[in-house]
Amino acid sequence: MNEGSSALVLVLSGDPALYAIVRLSLVVSLSAVGLAALVGLPLGGLIALTRFPGRAGVIVLLNAFMGLPPVVVGLAVFLLLSRSGPLGSWGLLFTPTAMVIAQAVLITPIIAALTRQTVEDDWSEVRDELNAMGVGPLQRLMTLLYDARIALVTVLLAGFGRAAAEVGAVMIVGGNINGFTRVMTTAIALETSKGDLPLAMGLGLILIAIVFAINASAWALRLYAERRIG
């Protein structure tokens, strides 16, 4: 396993090009999670707590969108941001911002759908109590989102996992430009096809390590919170 050992050397030696790629990956995916949370958490909570015609259809659509193919999202955002597209004048195509937008579009349905489910389950449990306290609609939403905060961290994590692992969307709207829009997944795809397996494997190792570390800390947070909050 010659390539395996050179991959390890690359990771441990702190190769600057490699770490620039890792940093951009984290910045893009975490920003996408932030953006998707701003939309997805209130949206999911709102759908959970309201009744309107066509609600069942919206929920089915949202659940279906959890499985959106990244390349299709990439294509849609590409068309939106390309020169001749409606938002072409913003000049965002092939920038990290475009990648954030594409990943946010990809994971907003995941965060909204899982939030909807969580909040709706909690609501059926506390509905009588909150109604007996005369809690109004907006307060109700805030209360339930806050009450479900531990579960919602796991929801955001699911979104992060999806964003950090996808290739298609960032490849299409970012263009995998060296030193500018190259992230771990697009680099792995490129280096593998070029035959530079050590770099691809090194990045793969780091990607797995990051996902592992984030899940481990979320698990620890959950244990701590369960003891503290119940």
Partner 1 sequence: MSDLPVTLTKVSYVVGETSILRDVDLVVRTGAPTFVVGPNGSGKSTLLRLVMGLITPTAGAIEWAGARDPAPRRRAMVFQHPVMLRRSVAGNLLYALEQAGVEKSLRDRRCSELLQKVGLSDLADRPARRLSGGERQKLAFARALARSPELLILDEPTASLDPSATLALERLIAQAAAEGIKILMASHDLGQMRRLAGDVVFLHRGRILESASAKDFFEQPVSAQASAFLRSDLILED
Burial class (CB in 10 A: 0-12, 13-18, 19+), 81: buried
Q: Which of 103, 110, 95, 80 has the alpha carbon at shortest distance from 166? A: 103
Q: Does 125 bind partner 1 (CB under 8 A)?
A: yes
Q: Does 129 bind partner 1 (CB under 8 A)?
A: yes
Q: Which of 2, 32, 193, 185 has the alpha carbon at shortest distance from 99? A: 32
Burial class (CB in 10 A: 0-12, 13-18, 19+), 201: buried
Place of tokens 């592992």: 212
Distance CA 34, CA 42 (A): 13
What number of H helices and E strands is found in the chain? Answer: 10, 0
Smallest distance, Å, CB 146 to partner 1? 8
| Sole window of 38-46, 55-63, 95-103, 125-133 interacting with partner 1 (rule: CB under 8 A) | 125-133
Q: Does 126 bind partner 1 (CB under 8 A)?
A: yes
Q: Does 128 bind partner 1 (CB under 8 A)?
A: yes
Token output for 113: 């759908």
Q: Which of 43, 164, 154, 25 has the alpha carbon at shortest distance from 106? A: 164
Binding mask 148-187 for partner 1 (x = CB under 8 A): xxx-------------------------------------
Among 32, 119, 147, 185, binds partner 1 (CB under 8 A): 147
| Sole window of 12-20, 28-36, 99-107, 147-155 interacting with partner 1 (rule: CB under 8 A) | 147-155
Task: Give the number of other Cβ atoms within 10 Å of residue 164's Cβ.
Answer: 22
Among 26, 135, 189, 218, binds partner 1 (CB under 8 A): 135
Q: Does 139 bind partner 1 (CB under 8 A)?
A: yes
| Sole window of 12-20, 89-97, 131-139, 199-207 interacting with partner 1 (rule: CB under 8 A) | 131-139
Q: Does 133 bind partner 1 (CB under 8 A)?
A: yes
Binding mask 85-124 for partner 1 (x = CB under 8 A): ----------------------------------------
- Contacts with partner 1, residue ranges (CB under 8 A): 125-126, 128-129, 131-135, 139, 143, 147-150, 227-230
